[in-house]
Structure 1
Amino acid sequence: MSSWLITGANRGFGLEIARAALEAGDRVVATARKPESIHAALGRFGNRLAVVPLDVTDNEAISAAVDAALERFGRIDVLVNNAGYGQLGPFELVSPEAIARQFSTNLFGAFALTRAVLPAMRSQRSGHIVNISSISGIKGFDGSSIYCASKFALEGWSESLAGELAPFGIRTTLVEPGRFRTDFLDASSVSHGNFAIDDYADYAARRKAELDAANHRQAGDPVRLGRAIVELTRAAHPPVRFAAGREAYDVLLERAGQLEAQAHAWADLSLSLDIDEPGPLANATRHA
């Protein structure tokens, strides 16, 4: 029986991951800034569920949540960094304050919670960090530059972290969903630019209308994603990167192909930039 700590567990991915873990017989500390609805959704699982309020931008709350998880279940086997939201809109329309909030939640919150959990996992010499990213962490999308930046940063950190933690028996997995049928595009989960610049007016309005039209019509099933993440945590050799859904699978392959094609297209110039080191014979002649 594994013990989980999940952020943003009051709805969407977080709720479905918590539900799937509980249905699999595990124990879950489900956290959220507004956790009241978690009891209604998951209360039937009794003492295998603990509900803790948590704002991932609050370091004191993070320490309290980790302490509560360890006191309740004695260990943390899986940390799911899921809490986040989408700061959309063209870069010039997003204020520095809004950018800071985006990174504080999507990136620095994951940093802080992982830092708080790792001492227990290192002591156990086991654990699994699951970071919920996005296809926006693999591929940049216009009109979402700040959100993409936060997810690209999460990806680079997670991939590097995997190598650092492997010697302690701690695994790290990036989950990269495409578009799933959650509340992500609702006003409660997404923000748009907070400046107005005439040059962007038509573009920004068009992009927002496109996103609004797609809300709750996405192809991905969050229930299936929750079950897939439980399966990943039980795998003997889980991936560092997991494409969640057909759209993500296609984006990952497309991105790999683009990178390979670009590398080949500029190969001559790329390979011309190294210093021409003399070979062993030249060195021997020079010092004779």
Structure 2
Amino acid sequence: MPQTSPLAGQVVLITGASAGIGAGLAQVLADRYIGVHLVLAARNVGKLAHVAEQCSKAGAEVITVPTDMAQIDQVQALAKTALDRFGRVDILVNNAGYGQMGPIELIPPEAVQRQLQVNVLGAIALIQALIPAMRDQGGGRIINVSSLAGKIAFPFGGLYSASKFALEAVSDSLRRELTPFNIRVSVIEPGPVSTEFFDVVDKEIDHTIVDPEHSPYRVAFKKLEDLEKQTSSRAWTSEQVAIVILKAMTDRNPRPRYVAATSGDFLLFMMTKVLPTSLVDKFWQRFYGIDLVAKDWQSRKKSAKLDP
């Protein structure tokens, strides 16, 4: 049953709202809160329109703003459109992002640049564009969707982790800088989520890694193909993560971080506070198949020497 508080009349801007967590959050807000105003942004115009239609049917006032977060001018235009339409933005949910997967050695510079543009620079630009309005209106909330990978760097996920580590650092600084203006900043750290994430990962590998079958990491690439199966039993739905984001939006005193993963707090504690780094390294090397690379590489070198 829709509620009239605490988000009634508030304006919520969600990036990456055409699918996954962003779409799930938009629908939860529309279903639960009467009078909420939604500004939905994403690149996929068709999917964005479908999400907006469903939210409108639930009673929310919705506008869509097609936006590529890698294009700073589009990000700034998104902020202006929201403010021109509603006169304020009460809650910003920086959710847009994707995972650039593969060995750092093999990812071309343009792919490195886009990873940081979308996940970090675009988010910063949107925050910068909205802070003055939030300050003038007496406060607001900024919620940045990070990942467990924002605390733990995995093999083949170094660039994704770099972007999320950066977003976490930005969030910590913002939280301390914006307290005088009643602007609260929180980070959401999901674990595996049942979204299109792994489909995007596969496409990115196909587009950016030249001939993975013949790379020094080929055996690890093979194991990466089964990563979704390995994590599916622990994956949350987009709606489950949306409920955690909702807590960050409505808690009277929002926490700096909300973990949205089964046993996520325990995992982070063990991996960052308890276990020695050497043991953590071996665990992740085995999980991602890096432990198989040395034997395969030596075998290939030996075979190449024997061939006439």
Q: TM-score, normalised by structure 1?
A: 0.83
Query: Which of 186, 206, 209 is the aligned partner of 1:194?
Result: 209
Cα distance in 2 for residues equivalent to 1:216 and 1:35: 29
Shift of 1:91: 1.0
Q: Which residue does 1:222 correspond to in 2?
A: 238
Q: What is the aligned partner in structure 2 of residue 34 from structure 1?
A: 44
Alignment of 1:113-128 (within 5 A): 113-128=126-141
C-alpha separation in 1, matches of 2:87 and 2:20 = 27
Q: CA RMSD in A?
A: 2.1
Name the structure 2 match of 1:61.
Answer: 74
Contact kept? 1:57, 1:108, Cα under 8 Å: yes
> Alpha-carbon deviation of 1:46?
5.3
Partner residue in 2 for 1:235:
251
Decide which structure has the larger Cα Rg and report it. Answer: 1
Number of aligned residues:
260
Q: 1:12 aligns with which of 14, 20, 24?
A: 20
Question: Structure 1 runs of 4+ off > 4 angstroms?
Answer: 214-218
In the alignment, which residue of structure 1 is the partner of 2:168?
155
Report how far residue 141 of structure 1 moved: 0.8
Q: Which residue of structure 1 lines up, in the alignment, with residue 95 of structure 2?
A: 82
- Offset of 1:64 from its aligned partner? 1.9
Residues 1:190 and 1:168: Cα distance change in structure 2 (over 3 Å): farther
User: Match for residue 30 of structure 2?
Assistant: 22
Aligned-partner residue type, residue 33 of structure 1: R
Taking a change above 3 Å as real, the CA distance of residues 213 and 256 of structure 1, as seen in their structure-2 partners, is closer
Alignment of 1:263-278 (within 5 A): none
Following superposition, the deviation at residue 125 of structure 1 comes to 2.3
- Say if 1:5 and 1:76, in contact at 8 Å, map to a contact too: yes
Counterpart code for 1:199: P
Distance 1:255 1:170, change over 3 A: farther
Which whole-Å deviations, capped at 9, do the CAs of 1:208-260 have from their partners, x for residues lacking one?
x122535866521211221221222111110111111214222222245238x
Asked if the contact 2:13–2:38 (Cα under 8 Å) also holds between the matched residues in 1, the reply is yes
Q: CA deviation at 1:47?
A: 5.9
Which residue number corresponds to residue 98 of structure 1? 111
C-alpha distance in structure 1 between counterparts of 2:233 and 2:108, whole Å: 30
Residue 183 (structure 1) aligned with residue 196 (structure 2): yes
Q: Does structure 1 residue 48 correspond to structure 2 residue 61?
A: yes
Distance in 1 between residues matched to 2:194 and 2:234, nearest whole Å = 5
Distance 1:47 1:222, change over 3 A: closer
Aligned counterpart, 2:124: 111
Deviations 1:124-178 (A, max 9, x none): 1211111000000111111111111111111111111110111110000110000
The one-character-per-residue Cα deviations of 1:183-214 (angstroms, maximum 9, x if unpaired) are 1101378622514563222222322x122535
Residues 21 and 190 (structure 1), Cα distance of their counterparts in 2 relative to 1, 3 Å cut = farther
Name the residue aligned to 1:276: none
Taking a change above 3 Å as real, the CA distance of residues 236 and 47 of structure 1, as seen in their structure-2 partners, is: closer
The whole-number CA distance in structure 2 between the counterparts of 1:134 and 1:190 is 20
Match of 2:287 in 1: none
Could you list the runs of 5+ residues in structure 1 that have no partner in the other structure? 263-288
Q: Which runs of 5+ in 2 are unaligned?
A: 1-7, 278-308
Contact 1:139/1:251, CA 8 A, preserved across alignment: no
User: Are the aligned partners of 1:178 and 1:247 in contact in 2 as well (CA < 8 Å)?
Assistant: no
Query: Is the 1:9–1:15 contact (alpha carbons within 8 Å) kept by the matching residues of 2?
Result: yes
Is the 8 Å Cα contact of residues 181 and 218 (structure 1) preserved in structure 2?
no
Paired with 1:19 and 1:53, the residues of 2 have a C-alpha distance of 18
1:49 shift after superposition: 0.9
Task: Report SS of the residue matched to 1:246.
Answer: coil
Counterpart residue identity of residue 200, structure 1: Y
One-letter identity of the residue aligned with 1:194: I
Where relative contact order (Cα < 8 A, 6+ residues apart) is larger, the structure is 1
1:131 corresponds to: 144
Give runs of aligned pairs for residues 169-180 of structure 1, distance below 5 A: 169-180=182-193
TM-score (norm 2): 0.78
